[in-house]
Amino acid sequence: MEKRRIGSLEVTVVGIGCDNFGGRIDEARTHEVVHAALDAGVNFFDTADDYPVIPPGLSTKSEEFMGRALKGHREEIILATKFGLPYDDEHLGGGRPEYIRRSIEESLRRLDTDYVDLYQFHQPDPETPIADTLGALAELVDDGKVIEIGCSNFTVEQMREASSVVKEGKARFVSVQNQYSLLYREAELEVLPECEATGLAFLPFFPLFNGLLAGGYRRGAPWPEDSRFLDASDERKASVFSEHNLDIIESLATYAEARGHTLLDLTFARLLANPSLASVIAGAVTAEQVHSNAATASWKLSATEIAEIDALAPIS
């Protein structure tokens, strides 16, 4: 599988987002998904110390399950995790140096590893100067506990501020992870152009927009039996399954099928047409989903196809 760079790291263009581990799927299913990914040639796994986010109260399970599932395979993979979001009364989040030092030790223990390849600041902390956060992260790099550092949910202004305060010769953010999909294209307005101009790698979260772009939800068709929306509120369902979104889904699916591909193929291909995008870290709850995701990497879009897809799913 093709690989792209995140700083000094080389990651497969299809990765695994790990928020489902410990939430939607148990430890045995997590093991199946992780090993299906390894078998498919996927080397990039992205989690966080507060995963799974839903249901509440199970935070840290993703890291714990991954630590056991990846035993014996550590040198084969690129392992990313995050810190900074609150997840219980003793972990209130933020970017304070003392919190960072505590968080990395706890993540290393749960992941059963001596180092993290990519350690990401999950969201900006308005109470802590970014220079203090970066200083503490640089110490982790110097100590060998972290290889590269990244940020998440940062605006262009926050990315530039972080770059401006890095001390000479010290670690700087090499990636930014923000929401991005064909149904949420805001990153194309400022953040992706900034990444291309500065050499930062971009990682999209929610690349399948809650599963709508995976192909399992079509107008008039029954939902998958394991749908995350079966117990969702009416307000949540209405916001995701809007007529606007369903119109785009149908248009994109028809376009893909006319060319012998699936909506999932099209989704991955279009995101990966962005040269700054390092890996599509989609979640998976079955081995079959992992193999479907991995197979999408073969469709390389032409400039004409990119323009046609963008006309069907415009930036709004």
Question: Measuring CA to CA, which residue among 74, 70, 121 is closest to residue 96?
Answer: 121
Give yes or no for a contact between 81 and 120, defined as CB atoms under 8 angstroms apart. yes
Rounded distance between C-alpha atoms, residue 228 and residue 81, angstroms: 23
**Which residues contact residue 197 at a Cβ distance below 8 angstroms, ignoring those fewer than 6 apart?**
none
**Which residues contact residue 244 at a Cβ distance below 8 angstroms, ignoring those fewer than 6 apart?**
none
DSSP 172: -
Q: Assess whether 119 carries a catalytic annotation.
A: no
Residue listed under structure tokens 């709850």:
285
**Which residues contact residue 43 at a Cβ distance below 8 angstroms, ignoring those fewer than 6 apart?**
3, 11, 12, 15, 76, 77, 78
Q: Give 3-state DSSP helix, strand, coil % of the chain, rounded to 5.
A: 40, 20, 40
Tally of CB atoms within 10 A around 316: 9
| Phi, psi for residue 211 in degrees, rounded to 5 | 95, -10
Strand arrangement, sheet containing 44-46: 201-205, 173-179, 146-152, 116-121, 78-83, 44-46, 14-17, 280-283
Rounded distance between C-alpha atoms, residue 305 and residue 310, angstroms: 8
Give yes or no for a contact between 51 and 16, defined as CB atoms under 8 angstroms apart. no
Rounded distance between C-alpha atoms, residue 76 and residue 80, angstroms: 13
Q: Which of 51, 99, 119, 217 is catalytic?
A: 51
Rounded distance between C-alpha atoms, residue 109 and residue 34, angstroms: 19
Which amino acid is it at 314?
Answer: P
Structure tokens at 6: 């995140």
Residues annotated as catalytic are 51
